[in-house]
Chain A
């Protein structure tokens, strides 16, 4: 997997977490996986299509998700409230959106679908068809996991640029 495509997602998560949680986030671990994904907490998935295709899972330990929900709503939130799941989806939307903005400004063109809560079925499928990069971030409220699986379609990019294949 191309690290230059992954880097914007790492930078974006780092910046968005710092802004949303009002606290620093550090990368604690990086691994590659090919097996199905096992959720660690509350997870959202965002898929994208175009010159870059794939999906990203943002998975937050419950306390970290709760912290984000409380920071954004500016008040007490119960950990069982649906708004906490919504917070994870919205955070995923911000992280992916900011990274996509950087990649698009570098010439990559692709479309992002709205985020959704990761289902058990999607969990089982995730990783079986492709290799995923998994990053674990540490925050004062718990771990946040970013699972990235994407492919760069060089042919589509060449076609769009009007450059013949060699």
Chain B
């Protein structure tokens, strides 16, 4: 896996992530990626409803949110989270990437969209962009690829 320059907050603390996906496997895979970004797992949720309570409990810097989930889907969860926490940074991570879905997610307050299978470098760039946009991280970080 590619190794990345650690994304840290301005206070030098690791960026904290909330991962929301009904697949344990997908959560584990994303957790590995954020570890390679130098991030810290603030919490996990397997459905949209749990994501809302986990967001309030953990106050993460960024949320990686699936769309198709039981109980409550990701787009509805984004709407609730952003209503309650207008500064929330949510990146949608889904295998279903058609325009209607992306537009709906963005209209509800999501900041970006990544289609599965997730390429770590692409996710890193998007997370960096979203965090820099809000002035959470320093803007001069570059991707470094580990040579094999």
Contact = CB atoms under 8 A, between A and B. Distances in A.
Contact of B95 (A69, A74, A98): A98
A74 B70 contact: no
A16 B94 CA distance: 14
A73 B100 contact: no
Interface residues of A, number: 26
A89 B24 CA distance: 10
A19 B119 CA distance: 9
Interface in B64-112: 68-70, 94-100
**Chain B contact residues, majority secondary structure:** loop
A89 B25 CA distance: 9
Interface size on B, as a range, is: 20 to 34
B58 interface: no
A12 to B, nearest CB: 9
Interface in A13-71: 16, 19-20, 69
A112 B25 contact: no
A151 B122 CA distance: 36
A44 to B, nearest CB: 10
A132 interface: no
Interface of A: 16, 19-20, 69, 72-74, 82-83, 86-87, 89-90, 93-98, 100-101, 104-105, 112-114
Interface of B: 1, 22-26, 28-29, 32, 68-70, 94-100, 115-117, 119
